[in-house]
Chains A and B, each alone.
Chain A
């Protein structure tokens, strides 16, 4: 542990030598340079990936584009096939066969000397593993949604803050021009003061019906996959399809909150607060193993009077993406470089020197590495990720109970509703517990 801490300190000090510079590898002092002007391997940020499915591997490939600045040394997954495929990628990048693999994240965290981890797991594992990584003083690139419940989220936020690590949420839209520009136009009131926001998230898709109980594939540790979730027989949902089952996730609504609600909050100054009243309804599949809402329509009211509607795209006039409305018009952003406004002139507006300029990042992964070096927060810190996902977790409670939920965003409690309050957390199956921070 001591060794790890001093390594972290070293990396941070290196940054301080060339304060203000953000271009790597220039910030590496020449004394630390290896042959050929490349950083010596020991000065690269040492990383591991926990969760090597499609998202975890995708993130790792993005990080490997920066491989002069970092190095993967270990991987962890409960699926040996995924693990093996990821190991090949890492070994190829490293030009050796040294990448170590684990089936249990606890073993990886204990044995490996790391600076950072990239984590992409089913949501029901986030509370435990994000907190554990933070408690091991590792910097974390963590996938959204950052938590399955509000209580998980509160725990993770505390762990990150207490351990003073760099956290980057996989809310990579923040590092794209159109989203930042749209949010900057909104927050600088180019549509007037924002009064209403529409957030369109994906429609739920075709289900997989009612699969039977199946043999667990030999490569899969199903017990470990379930972890803190209630024990159920294997029915072929360990990859991808877990997303639509409430024990593990909240469907498209919770999956995408970390994107378009995060952007909505960014442009409306709501990043560090939450709604005070949440109501809405969902459409749940009457048949089949999927039980997350396929469609959903929430209305969230904020203390400052802003209202935010969050719904599946087909229910909204602008479909997918975020739309801020004010007295002077609207601005809409979505993937595919979409940046639209009620009046094209709004898009030509110049943001003055004394106005709000939002955090600028042009590469989400590089931003994480830069933050580790500089010690400055990354563009998508844990606190704002928690506020983005909270909106729909509270919405989920409103839909489950059929009630309008009153939320105190300061104390982070549901007001006067014991039944709904219980849904703020999910009991863990023994022996798993949420770490105390």
Chain B
């Protein structure tokens, strides 16, 4: 269940896909976003990331000469001065030879005049982009629209939480994802336009004018582009605040970025979907960009009280469903849960949650511990609930 432990053969933190995150100039807080991007990708255990900073704006760009060919993946958190012709040409060669690229948020603003780059990003915004750069692409009434209407490229209304709609459900990146999920407070990039060739729109978000300015279109949020032999994953989301903020902490952004990055390298996705992917019911954040493991959840849940995060319970429940009836696994999980019941420091509310789980998956092993709780004023209802269910079918 945990992406971090699902390692492709020969791919660990040390030997993961060599990844270059390029930043150094941006109209956004790149000092915050770049380390977060590294953290997000490192968390999978599949990538080993380096961050390369270009010279500051107006600096001597000829000094920026990364050896692209030694990387499997390039992540662009860059919106700034044009690179030198030599660097551009090396990047084009890297992509022509089957390189992987992740275009993140304002990177799609960059290089408005670089033809190949705009082909790679598919869609871009700002930088005087207009009909000369390509059509608008969006969804309307569940149909993909390619719209040549003249007009500006790039806008966004007020920051907001918004619903992301998965449009292509059988792509390796989106396979198994919820059809609709809430994204953390972010800029909703709209009116992007570009060549849009060999591009698939994986997910969109409705730019509702009632929510603080919007085009009333389902704007593209996640895209894939095939350019020459190269694969590009483009996420329009992720506006960074200090230390990332809700747009980057959003589990939806994190997981799609991790999956998109893997796809850009291999054309496939081996990461399993985590238990904490958001749904339409609300935003889900990973404040430290990490997925809580089952082991951690077993510990964390002991301090549960009403009003606190329910993630640890959902993690445990997910673990149990993943066992798919495996008897030994279920017995082990039962033992884990009974240990919480036995823990004097665990809260009553946490034990109530545990008793509900045990009510269906508990065995004789649970019975003595549950019976003891019949004498506990705070827990007697839940203990009785669990006991009568356990004993209803042996």
Residues of A within 8 A of B (CB): 203-207, 209-210, 212-213, 230-231, 233, 235, 244, 281, 283-291, 294-295, 312, 314-315, 399-403, 417-423, 425-427, 429-430
B282 CB within 8 Å of chain A = yes
Contact B360 A203, beta carbon cutoff 8 Å: no
Given the interface pairs A235-B306, A422-B390, the reply to whether A203 lies near B179 with Cβ below 8 Å is yes
Given the complex, which residues of B lie within 8 Å of A418, measured CB to CB? 393-394
Contact B281 A207, beta carbon cutoff 8 Å: yes
Contact A402 B381, beta carbon cutoff 8 Å: no
Query: In the complex, A287 Cα to B394 Cα: how many Å?
Result: 33
Of chain B, the residue at the smallest CB distance from A405 is B325
B392 CB within 8 Å of chain A = yes
Contact A283 B325, beta carbon cutoff 8 Å: no
Within 339-394 of B, Cβ neighbours of A (below 8 Å) are at: 352, 359-361, 381-382, 384-385, 388-390, 392-394
Given the complex, which residues of B lie within 8 Å of A426, measured CB to CB? 389
Query: In the complex, A360 Cα to B275 Cα: how many Å?
Result: 46
Given the complex, which residues of B lie within 8 Å of A420, measured CB to CB? 360
Query: In the complex, A421 Cα to B178 Cα: how many Å?
Result: 28
Within 318-354 of B, Cβ neighbours of A (below 8 Å) are at: 320-325, 330, 352
Given the complex, which residues of A lie within 8 Å of B392, measured CB to CB? 422, 425, 427
B52 CB within 8 Å of chain A = no
Given the interface pairs A235-B306, A401-B325, the reply to whether A207 lies near B277 with Cβ below 8 Å is no
Contact B381 A230, beta carbon cutoff 8 Å: yes
Given the complex, which residues of B lie within 8 Å of A401, measured CB to CB? 320-321, 324-325, 360-361
Most chain A CB inside 10 Å of its own CB: which residue of B165, B280, B311, B389: B280
Of chain B, the residue at the smallest CB distance from A417 is B325
Contact B389 A203, beta carbon cutoff 8 Å: no
Q: List 28 A-B contacts (CB under 8 A).
A: A203-B179, A206-B182, A210-B308, A210-B309, A212-B306, A235-B306, A244-B281, A283-B277, A283-B279, A286-B276, A286-B278, A286-B284, A286-B311, A288-B310, A291-B310, A314-B166, A314-B179, A314-B180, A399-B321, A401-B324, A402-B323, A419-B361, A420-B360, A422-B359, A423-B360, A427-B359, A429-B381, A429-B385
Given the complex, which residues of A lie within 8 Å of B276, measured CB to CB? 286
Min CB distance B142 to A, Å, is 8
Contact B284 A287, beta carbon cutoff 8 Å: yes
Query: In the complex, A403 Cα to B311 Cα: how many Å?
Result: 22
The interface size bin for chain B is 35 or more
Of chain A, the residue at the smallest CB distance from B161 is A206
B272 CB within 8 Å of chain A = no
Contact A294 B310, beta carbon cutoff 8 Å: no
Query: In the complex, A291 Cα to B357 Cα: how many Å?
Result: 13
Given the complex, which residues of A lie within 8 Å of B308, measured CB to CB? 210
- 7 smallest CB-CB distances across A and B, nearest first, come from A402-B321, A314-B179, A207-B281, A294-B279, A285-B281, A403-B325, A286-B276
B307 CB within 8 Å of chain A = yes
Query: In the complex, A291 Cα to B317 Cα: how many Å?
Result: 11
B56 CB within 8 Å of chain A = no
Contact B281 A206, beta carbon cutoff 8 Å: yes
Contact A206 B282, beta carbon cutoff 8 Å: yes
B145 CB within 8 Å of chain A = no
B169 CB within 8 Å of chain A = yes
Most chain B CB inside 10 Å of its own CB: which residue of A287, A418, A429: A287
Q: Which residue of A203, A213, A281, A429 is within 8 Å of B280 (Cβ)? A: A203
B146 CB within 8 Å of chain A = no
B211 CB within 8 Å of chain A = no
Of chain B, the residue at the smallest CB distance from A312 is B179
